[in-house]
Structure 1
Amino acid sequence: MLKIGLLGCGRIGQVHARSVGQIEGAVVTAVSDAFDAPAEALAARTNAKVMTSEELIACADVDAVVIGTPTDIHYDLIHLAAAASKAIFCEKPVDMSADRIRDCISVVEKAGVPFMTAFNRRFDPNFANVQRRIEQGEIGAVEIVTIQSRDPSPPPVSYIKSSGGLFRDMMIHDLDMA
C-alpha cells in the first residue's frame, strides 16, 4: 500500500485526494494545510490524520508527498521531503526562481527520491492524440499553434498573489503543450 501525505487541502489538494482515491493500492494517510477547516474536511473525507507539514513529512506512515500548497513554499517543502527520503509530486511551478528550481533538482537528485512536477496535460488523451497525429504526419506541417486554456473555475485572489499570477501559473501548461 502506497501511503500518501497531502500538503495543501485547497482546490488542487482536493483534486489530488480524489485522484489518489482512484488508484488501487494507494491511500491518503495524512493531510496538512495552513487553515484548520480545509484540512479537517479533507481528513474526514479521506480518513486521514491532520498534521503540520513538518509532522507529515517526518511521519513513518507517509511514503510520498503531494505538494499542493502555494508556490512560494514549494521550495522549502521539497527540501524537507527530500531530506526525509519521501517521493515527491509537486504542483507547478516548482518556484518562481530558476536558480531555486535548479537547487531543488540538485537536492532531489542527491537524495535519490522520485520527483514529478504536475504537467498533467501531456498525459491527457486528447492532447496525446493530437501529438501522435502530428508525429505521424497525419496533420501535416504545423505552422501556427493557438492554445487556449481554462480552469473549471477561477482561483481565489490569495492564490493568484502567491502563484506568480495567471500568466505564469497557467502559461506554463501552454509552453509544455507546445
Structure 2
Amino acid sequence: MLKLALLGCGRIGQVHARSIGQLAGKARLVAVADAYEPAAQELAAASGAEVRSSAQIMENNDIDAVIIGTPTDTHYQLIHEAAAAGKAIFCEKPIDMSADRIRACINAVTKANVAFLTAFNRRFDPNFSNIQARIASGEIGDVELITILSRDPSPPPISYIKSSGGLFRDMMIHDFDMARFLLGEEVTSIFAVGSSLVDPKIGAAGDIDTAAV
C-alpha cells in the first residue's frame, strides 16, 4: 500500500484527501501538514491522518510519496526537499512562475531519480483519454483544429488570484496541456487576447476572467 503525505490542507488539499480516501487498499493518507495548523488538525481528524511538519514528513521513511497542494510560491522549495528525501512527488500546477525555477525542479527530481507528476488530471479523465487514443490510432484522421472551452462555476477568491498566476497560468494551463496531450505536439506560436468582463474585482486585482488563445 502506498503511504502518502499531504502538504497543504486548503481547498485543493481537501479535494486530494477525499480522493485518497477512495483508494482503500491501494493508498493511505498517513500525514498532513499546513502552515495554518487548525486546517491541518481539521483535515487530519477527518481523514485519520497525523499532523506533522513538512520537515518531519521529509525525514520519515514511512512516507512513500508527497502531494504538494500548497501555494505556488512554495512549490520550488518543497519539490527540492522531497526529491532530496527520495519521495515520489505529485505537485499541483503550476510548478512555479519562473521557467528557470521549473527547470531547476526538473533537474532536482531527475538527479534524485524520483517519480514526479504534475496535477494535469484531465489526462486521466476517460473522456479525454478516449479522444487521445482515437486520434493516436488514426480513427479520427488528420486533426486540423482543436477547440477547447473551459469555464469555472464561480471565480476564485481575489487573494488567491494574486498568488496563483491568474487565468492563463492557473486555469488555462489545463487547456494548454490538453492541446499538447491530444495532438502529441509542442506549441510553435501563440496568439492570446483577454479581458475582465464578468467580475470587475478580478480586473482590479490585475487579472482577466475571459480569454481566447
The yes-or-no answer on 1:49 pairing with 2:50 is yes
Residue aligning to 1:116: 117
Residue aligning to 2:149: 148
| Separation of aligned partners in 1, 2:49 and 2:91 | 20
What are the ranges of 5 or more consecutive residues in structure 2 without an aligned counterpart? Answer: 180-213
Equivalence map 1:8-157=2 (5 Å): 8-23=8-23, 24-151=25-152, 153-157=154-158
Residue aligning to 1:3: 3
Q: Secondary structure at the match of 2:172?
A: helix
Deviations 1:11-48 (A, max 9, x none): 11111111111222311111111212321111011111
- TM (normalized to structure 1)? 0.91
- TM (normalized to structure 2)? 0.77
1:52 Cα deviation from its structure 2 partner: 2.0
Residue aligning to 2:168: 167
Alpha carbons of 1:152 and 1:87: their partners in 2 closer, same or farther (altered >3 Å)?
farther
8 Å CA contact 1:65, 1:81 repeated in 2? yes
Deviations 1:94-152 (A, max 9, x none): 11111111111111111111111111111111111222233344434333322112345
Q: Secondary structure at the match of 1:27?
A: strand
Moved more, 1-10 or 139-148: 139-148
Q: Secondary structure at the match of 1:93?
A: coil
Residue type of the alignment partner of 1:7: L
Count, aligned residues: 178
Higher RCO (CA < 8 A, seq sep 6+): 1
| Separation of aligned partners in 1, 2:42 and 2:165 | 27
Q: Secondary structure at the match of 2:66?
A: strand
Residue type of the alignment partner of 2:136: E
| Separation of aligned partners in 2, 1:152 and 1:19 | 21
Moved more, 31-40 or 141-150: 141-150
Alpha carbons of 1:16 and 1:40: their partners in 2 closer, same or farther (altered >3 Å)?
same
| Separation of aligned partners in 2, 1:57 and 1:156 | 31
Moved more, 57-66 or 117-126: 57-66
Q: Secondary structure at the match of 2:56?
A: helix
Deviations 1:63-120 (A, max 9, x none): 2100001111100000111111111111111111111111111111111111111111
The higher radius of gyration belongs to: 2
8 Å CA contact 1:122, 1:177 repeated in 2? yes
| Separation of aligned partners in 2, 1:99 and 1:119 | 20
Moved more, 10-19 or 133-142: 133-142
1:2 Cα deviation from its structure 2 partner: 1.6
What are the ranges of 5 or more consecutive residues in structure 1 without an aligned counterpart? Answer: none
| Separation of aligned partners in 2, 1:76 and 1:135 | 37
Q: Secondary structure at the match of 1:143?
A: coil
